[in-house]
Amino acid sequence: MSKPRVAFFDFACCEGCQLQVANFGEALLDVLKLIDVVEFREVMSEKSNEKYDIAIVEGSITTNHDIERIKKIRNTAKVLIAYGSCATIGGVNGMKNNFPLEKIKKYVYNKDANYFDTIATKAVHQVVKVDYFVHGCPIYQPEFIEVLKSALRGLPYKVPDYSVCVECKLNENECMYDKGITCLGPITRAGCNSWCINNGNICYGCRGMVTNPAKNAQMDVLDKYKIPLDWIKNKINMYNKAGEQAPEEK
Ligand code: SF4
Ligand code: SF4
Ligand code: SF4
């Protein structure tokens, strides 16, 4: 039986999530036994010639040309996986949406602004149907493997819809707020095993917001530590400005 043909594509991004996949090490060899990679610009020069079963898409949609291209990919693929915050929630590219589009175009491209087909940043699901989401900036490798296995088996993958704090507590980390540092863990969806906090950093909200953020609890925390609400809003905007909440994951 032939293996599913898998093609990796990128839109506006830093390609860091592709690198994460390329750096899987032994886990990648296991994955390669299950699939035929027919296009993956970061690691090979071959092209899929539009023959693939699964499209794995990195990056945000930021031009009208991107819209045409992602629609074509969607029409070809039986399954579409969006991976990395740029693709799943707009990510850092969404910071552009904090400003009027014409103003930001002029700021970046100056007199050449009219030559650029830039639109407000969108996550992939805001343009085409997405079957699976792998959140994170960059993606958390174990989750990517889980999602890919689910897609290959035709099974659903449910992204956790509780906060990073849950994983953080299970990992017995000292809370950043107790050290006088702000952290978006209380309102950010888990699934990364509180990766950043385990390594001495804070949560920046790269996986997007949980469906029902505990706003009152977050406000209580801000009150307790005398932290201005604007600081938190700015942090949220870094990753979450473009994306609406991702729809119910498959
Ligand atoms: S999600 Fe982060 S690491 Fe991945 S492509 Fe976007 S900016 Fe790069
Ligand atoms: S606020 Fe941050 S550091 Fe504190 S428990 Fe939640 S995730 Fe961990
Ligand atoms: S801890 Fe927060 S910022 Fe770090 S990977 Fe997890 S969701 Fe992203």
CB 136 within 8 A of CB 85: yes
Residue 247 lies in a domain: no
Q: Are residues 127 and 203 in the same domain?
A: no
Ligand 2 atom with least separation from CA of 194: 7
Ligand 1 atom with least separation from CA of 86: 6
Residue 246 lies in a domain: no
Beta-carbon contacts of residue 122 (< 8 Å; ≥ 6 apart): 60, 61, 62, 90, 242
Ligand 3 atom 4 nearest Cα: 196
Q: Are residues 216 and 141 in the same domain?
A: no
pLDDT digit string, tens, across residues 8-46:
999 999 999 999 998 887 877 788 888 999 999 888 888
CB 177 within 8 A of CB 217: no
CB 57 within 8 A of CB 36: no
Could you give the CA distance from residue 56 to residue 202 in angstroms, rounded to a whole number? 28
Does ligand 3 have an atom closer than 6 angstroms to the CB of 239?
Answer: no
**Is the confidence at residue 63, as pLDDT, over 80?**
yes
**3-state DSSP call for residue 115?**
helix
Does ligand 3 have an atom closer than 6 angstroms to the CB of 196?
Answer: yes
Q: Are residues 111 and 235 in the same domain?
A: no
**Is the confidence at residue 193, as pLDDT, over 70?**
yes
Q: Are residues 169 and 149 in the same domain?
A: no
Q: Which residues pair with 19 in a beta bridge?
A: none
Q: Are residues 51 and 93 in the same domain?
A: yes
Quote the domain boundaries for residue 149: 5-153
Residue 245 lies in a domain: no
**CATH number, domain at 106?**
3.40.50.700
- Could you say which of 153, 174, 194 is where a domain stops? 153
Residue 158 lies in a domain: no
Task: Give the 3-state DSSP-derived string for 24-92, with helices as H, strands as E and coil as C.
Answer: CCHHHHHHHCCCEEEECCCCCCCCCCCCCCEEEEECEEEEHHHHHHHHHHHHHCCEEEEECHHHHCCHH
- Which residues does ligand 2 sit against, CB inside 6 Å? 164-165, 168-169, 173, 175-177, 183, 185-186, 194, 197, 203
Q: Are residues 232 and 149 in the same domain?
A: no
**Is the confidence at residue 222, as pLDDT, over 50?**
yes
Token readout for 166 is 């849950």
175/48: higher pLDDT: 175
**Is the confidence at residue 148, as pLDDT, over 90?**
yes
**Is the confidence at residue 101, as pLDDT, over 70?**
yes
Residue 186 lies in a domain: yes
Residue 34 lies in a domain: yes
87/29: higher pLDDT: 87
**Is the confidence at residue 172, as pLDDT, over 80?**
yes
Does ligand 1 have an atom closer than 6 angstroms to the CB of 84?
Answer: yes
Q: Cα–Cα distances in Å, from 220 out to 165, 174, 180, 225, 226?
A: 15, 18, 15, 9, 10
Which range, of 59-68, 117-126, 239-248, averages the lowest pLDDT?
Answer: 239-248
Instruction: Give residue 189 CA to ligand 3 midpoint distance, Å.
Output: 9
Cβ neighbour number for residue 225 with a 10 Å cutoff:
12
Q: Are residues 63 and 170 in the same domain?
A: no
Could you give the CA distance from residue 128 to residue 211 in angstroms, rounded to a whole number? 21
Instruction: Give residue 170 CA to ligand 2 midpoint distance, Å.
Output: 11
Which range, of 84-88, 212-216, 220-224, averages the lowest pLDDT?
Answer: 212-216
Which range, of 71-75, 88-92, 221-225, averages the lowest pLDDT?
Answer: 221-225
Region 83-97: what's the mean pLDDT?
Answer: 96
**Percentage of the chain with pLDDT > 90?**
72
174/225: higher pLDDT: 174
What pLDDT, on a 0 to 100 scale, did the predictor assign at position 226?
A: 87
Q: Are residues 145 and 201 in the same domain?
A: no
Cβ neighbour number for residue 43 with a 10 Å cutoff:
12
Residue 103 lies in a domain: yes
**Is the confidence at residue 247, as pLDDT, over 50?**
no
What pLDDT, on a 0 to 100 scale, did the predictor assign at position 60?
A: 97
Model pTM score: 0.93
Cα-based torsion angle of the residue sequence 35, 40, 129, 161 in order, rounded to the nearest 10 degrees: 80
